[in-house]
């Protein structure tokens, strides 16, 4: 059994983020071969990075860092659900990422982005560079929701369609494929340490 964790990229009141997060979580939960867990940064309430040592030293002094370390270490792969803020991804997501290093290593990550015309793609492209530094494998399979507000009803509920469902299925297939293989790769790497 592999574990896929879904990270929320927004902590704003009334954030749209909860909708794609709930949608992809419900689809992922139908897969019998994976365990899916939500990592809601709004609930974690991490302060701005406040560790005296760099994460590569792997010496954590704060309880919130140890807690986050366990959550991320337990994962075999990730879905980052990110808004686009000023042509990048959110500061709250970067802050959570920067807390750790080894816990992210050799794990696949895929992305759901949303926003205006670019559908969050500019934020996702920035995340790809960060993923490389963390030795993650950033998957090609992504889901973009451009101008998402044009596809909501009066109460703000977004309408996901068949194309989105197909994209989610492709994303999960790829994520599971690589999560299984990278889990084996991590065992080989750890055995050499």
Ligand X SMILES: Cc1cc2nc3c(=O)[nH]c(=O)nc-3n(C[C@H](O)[C@H](O)[C@H](O)COP(=O)(O)O)c2cc1C
Q: How far is the CB of 15 from ligand X (least distance, A)?
A: 4
Candidate segments 35-43, 66-74, 81-89, 182-190, binder of ligand X by CB under 6 A: 81-89
Q: Which of 2, 3, 15, 180 binds ligand X (CB under 6 A)?
A: 15
Which is nearer to ligand X, 3 or 88 (by Cβ)? 88
Burial pattern 74-90, b for ≥16 Cβ within 10 A else e, equals ebbbbbbbbbbbeebbb
Which is nearer to ligand X, 37 or 146 (by Cβ)? 146
Residue 83 interacts with ligand X (CB under 6 A): yes or no: yes
CA dihedral 10, 15, 19, 22 (to 10 degrees): 50
List the interface residues with ligand X, window 16-55 (CB under 6 A).
16-17
Q: How far is the CB of 83 from ligand X (least distance, A)?
A: 3
Residue carrying structure tokens 């895929």: 110
Distance CA 82, CA 137 (A): 17
CA contacts within 13 A on the Cβ side of 64: 13
103 sits in which H/E element: none
The DSSP output letter for 38 is: E
Distance CA 169, CA 31 (A): 10
Chain residue whose CB lies nearest ligand X:
115
Residue 10 interacts with ligand X (CB under 6 A): yes or no: yes
State the binding string over 86-105 for ligand X (x if CB under 6 A, else -). Answer: xx------------------
Q: Which of 7, 115, 130, 144 binds ligand X (CB under 6 A)?
A: 115
User: Which positions lie near ligand X, rule CB under 6 A?
Assistant: 10, 12, 15-17, 83-87, 115-116, 118
């Amino acid at each position: 059994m592999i574990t896929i964790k879904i990270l929320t990229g927004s902590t704003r009141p009334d954030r749209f983020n909860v909708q794609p997060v709930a949608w992809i979580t419900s689809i992922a939960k139908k897969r019998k071969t994976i365990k899916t867990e939500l990592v809601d940064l709004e609930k974690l309430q991490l302060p701005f990075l406040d560790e005296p040592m760099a994460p590569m030293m792997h010496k954590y002094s704060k309880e919130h860092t140890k807690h986050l370390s366990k959550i991320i270490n337990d994962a075999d792969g990730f879905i980052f659900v990110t808004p686009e803020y000023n042509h990048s991804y959110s500061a709250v997501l970067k802050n959570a990422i920067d807390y750790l290093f080894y816990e992210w290593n050799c794990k696949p990550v895929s992305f759901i982005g949303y926003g205006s015309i670019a559908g969050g793609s500019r934020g996702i492209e920035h995340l790809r560079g960060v993923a490389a530094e963390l030795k993650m494998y950033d998957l090609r399979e992504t889901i973009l929701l451009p101008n998402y507000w044009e596809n909501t009803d009066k109460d703000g509920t977004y309408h996901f369609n068949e194309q989105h469902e197909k994209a989610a299925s492709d994303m999960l297939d790829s994520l599971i494929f690589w999560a299984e293989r990278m889990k084996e790769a991590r065992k080989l790497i750890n055995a050499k340490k």
